[in-house]
Every structure is written in C-alpha cells, then in structure tokens.
Amino acid sequence: MKRTMVMVVLAGAVGAYLLPGCSDANKARVQVAQKKLLDRIDEALGKMDVQKAEIDNGIKSAKQAADGVRRAKVRAQGNLDQINEKVRPFEERISQCDQSLMKLRDAIAADMPATIAGKTYSVAELKEMAGKVIAARKEAEKQINGFKSARETMTKQVALLTKTQQEIEAKIAGLQSQMVKLDSEIAAAKAMKQASAAMGDADSSLADNLAELERKIATLSADAQSELALETDRWSAANTEKAISDVDAFIRDSQKSTDTLAEIDRILGGKK
C-alpha cells in the first residue's frame, strides 16, 4: 500500500514538472534538490555496501568458529568412547565377581565343603576364595571410579559443544536472514534512486521514505554487528583452539591409563 502511494506521488510530481509555464528558476531549484537527493541515496548505498561486506565477513568467521566447535565435539565424543571402552572390562569383571560371590555365599552358608567348577573346596578354602573375589571386585571398582571423573567431565563437554554448535548455527541463520532483509532494502534504495532520476522533482514523500530506509538500515546493521561482535568474541580462534586443546588433554590423560590397566590385569591374573 505504501509503495503504491509513493508511486502515485511520483507520478503526480512528474506531471507537475511537465506542465507548461514552469520557470527556469523553478527548474534549477528542482535540479539542485534532485541532485542532493540522489547524492544522499548514493551515500546510503555506499554505506550499505560496506555494512554488507562486514556482515559477510562476520558470517564467514562464525562459520569457521562453528566448524572448530564441531571438530572439538567429534574429538570429545571419540575420547568419551575410548573411556567407555576402557571401563567396560571392569564392569564385566564386577558382574563376574558378583556371580561367583553368589555361589560362594551359598556354599559358605551351608558350612560344608563344596564343589565348584569341578574342584572341591573346604569351608576355609571357600572363605579364602571369597576374600580373593571380593578383593578383585574392589580393584575393578577402584578402576571404574578412577575413570568416573574423566567420563563425567567428557560427557558434559560433549553436551556443551553440541549445544554451542547449535547456538552458533542458529546465530548464523539469523544473520543470513538479516542479510536477505539488507539486500531488499538496498534494492529499495536503488529503486528510489531510479524514481528520483526519472521524476525530475524532489518529492518530500521520497525523501521521507529515504530517511525511513536509512533508519531501518542503521538498526538492522547495528543488530547484525552486535550479534557478530558477541559471537566473534565468544568463539574467537583462541577460544576454539582452547576447546580443542582441552579435548586433546583428555585424550592424553586417558592414554596414560593403558599401563595401569595392564598392571591390574597382571595382578588379577595372579589371583586366579
């Protein structure tokens, strides 16, 4: 509706300009006003082009940050999988110990020799074996507890990185949407310039529309720049590298447990 009214006003202005009897002084006044308006539109278009380039660069940086977070999340998930793999044998060990303890409990409670796995044990031997199984179970629990902190921390890290990646991608989508709006406003400004050049008059409605367009562009650009500044500071290259290095630290720490696992296996093997 607003665009229709503008075009009606423009058409009226063109008609007024073409009416006979228009003085040279009036024509000169119109030409000066028209040039000022065209210069104003050119200035606005120049600013919008600069702002668009800045937002484009900001979106590229945000995409790089999102990619860095995604890579950090993949590493964190891989490390979490490694931790779970290392914990699994001890969880299985506990399950086996529990099954053995159930049999030993029944045999000890009967207070008489019992045959288990083809071998006969006295009550004293049953109690001694139960003590060994309990010790083995405690060792397995100790190992699982040793991984507990790393597993919980890495689980939180994966969740945080997943959430952060989603947030950055949502911000990028929002900025891209603002870019579409900015493109439409640039197109509107160019249309105003063409209309002003064709009409031969400095219509006040066109000037008002330009002022409103400038205000909208300033607001849109300020919003976009604010979002970019916030996300760029939050997910700068340094912060992204820190997130990745934190994951690397977890990977290195988890690798140190390999020798411990082998040592425990030797200890448990000696008790069998």
Q: Tell me: the pLDDT tens digits for 151-169?
A: 888 899 899 999 888 888 8
Mean pLDDT of 61-76: 87
Any idea what DSSP says for residue 19?
Answer: S
Q: Which residues of 93-107 are buried (b: 16+ CB within 10 A; e: fewer)?
A: bbeebeebbeebeeb
Residue 64's pLDDT is 85
| Number of domains observed in the structure of the chain | 1
Digit-coded pLDDT (tens) for 13-30: 444 444 444 466 666 665
CA distance 259 to 223: 54
pLDDT, one tens digit per residue, over 194-236 is: 766 555 444 555 556 656 666 666 665 565 556 555 555 555 5
What pLDDT was estimated at residue 90? 93
CA distance 88 to 98: 15
* pLDDT given for residue 227 in this prediction: 56
Q: Residue 218 corresponds to which tokens in the numbers above?
A: 């300033």
pLDDT mean across residues, the chain: 71
Residue 143, domain member (yes or no): yes
In this structure, is residue 210 part of a structural domain? yes
Is the predicted pLDDT of residue 70 greater than 50, yes or no? yes
Q: What is the CATH number of the domain that holds 211?
A: 1.20.1270
Domain-located, residue 223? yes
The three-state secondary structure class of 120 is strand
pLDDT above 70 covers what percent of the chain?
56
Quote the domain boundaries for residue 143: 55-271
